[in-house]
């Protein structure tokens, strides 16, 4: 079980099994194709997300979930460049959403100059890997959460109340 201050330990076999078990629960009656998702390997999901700003402009983002420490810890969550399927600090900032004013989530393009993207929310793996402070009631609970919680938190951050556009202009 996840605990504040502990370092997540990868277990790819367990992660793949847990993803295989949880994927139908999160998809409900849909297939991967119907949901528009892609699973390039046993530990990875690519999920397109759309966010609307100004009531008219819709922006596209690609979220990569990686389940190497799952389900003890939440999945790794990273916004990636849809052309390279990677995130490179200082190059791919335009593929990150700007989320402002939410007490629950933010997206840092280069967290504390450590060279990593951080979707700062207690339902992402990176949140624990950087040793972010966390209230007890927010700690990941594998018995009552699966990666649906991660998606719900990110989608909530992309609602019009908080979403302010890509972090850098797209040409």
Partner 1 sequence: MNQKVEHDDDVANDNHEHPSVEFVYLNTNAEVKFHAKWDEKLSLIWDNAYNELHEIRRPNDLLECQSGDSLMLHLELTLQGLRERKICKARKFQIRSETGGA
Q: Which residues bind partner 1 (CB under 8 A)?
A: 25-26, 28-29, 102-106, 119-123, 127, 132, 134-135, 137-138, 144-146, 148-149, 152-153, 156, 159
Q: How far is the CB of 24 from partner 1 (least distance, A)?
A: 9
Q: How far is the CB of 127 from partner 1 (least distance, A)?
A: 6
Q: How far is the CB of 17 from partner 1 (least distance, A)?
A: 17
Q: Which residue's CB is nearer to partner 1, number 86 or number 155?
A: 155
- Specify whether the CB–CB gap between 117 and 102 falls below 8 A: no
Query: CB-hemisphere CA count at 13 Å for 139?
Result: 13
∠ CA 16-78-13 to the nearest 5 degrees?
A: 15
Q: What is the rounded CA–CA span in Å between residue 67 and residue 76?
A: 6
Q: Which residue's CB is nearer to partner 1, number 66 or number 140?
A: 140
Q: Which residue's CB is nearer to partner 1, number 94 or number 108?
A: 108
Q: How far is the CB of 51 from partner 1 (least distance, A)?
A: 13
Q: What is the rounded CA–CA span in Å between residue 17 and residue 8?
A: 17
Q: Which residue's CB is nearer to partner 1, number 4 or number 81?
A: 4
Instruction: Give, in order, the Cα–Cα distances in Å from 152 to each of 88, 145, 146, 159, 168.
Output: 25, 11, 11, 11, 24
């Amino acid at each position: 079980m996840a605990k504040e201050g502990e370092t997540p330990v990868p277990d790819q076999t367990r992660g793949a099994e847990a993803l295989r078990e949880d994927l139908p629960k999160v998809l409900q009656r849909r297939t991967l194709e119907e949901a528009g998702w892609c699973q390039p390997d046993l530990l990875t999901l690519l999920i397109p997300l759309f966010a609307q700003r100004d009531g008219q402009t819709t922006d596209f983002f690609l979220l990569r979930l990686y389940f190497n420490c799952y389900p003890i810890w939440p999945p790794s969550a990273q916004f990636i460049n849809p052309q390279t399927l990677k995130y490179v600090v200082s190059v791919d900032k335009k593929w990150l959403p700007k989320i402002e004013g939410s007490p629950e989530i933010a997206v840092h393009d280069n967290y504390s100059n450590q060279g990593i993207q951080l979707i700062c929310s207690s339902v992402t793996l990176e949140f624990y890997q950087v040793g972010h402070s966390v209230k007890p009631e927010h700690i990941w609970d594998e018995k009552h959460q699966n990666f649906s919680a991660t998606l719900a938190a990110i989608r909530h951050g992309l609602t019009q109340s908080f979403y302010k556009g890509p972090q850098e202009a797209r040409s």
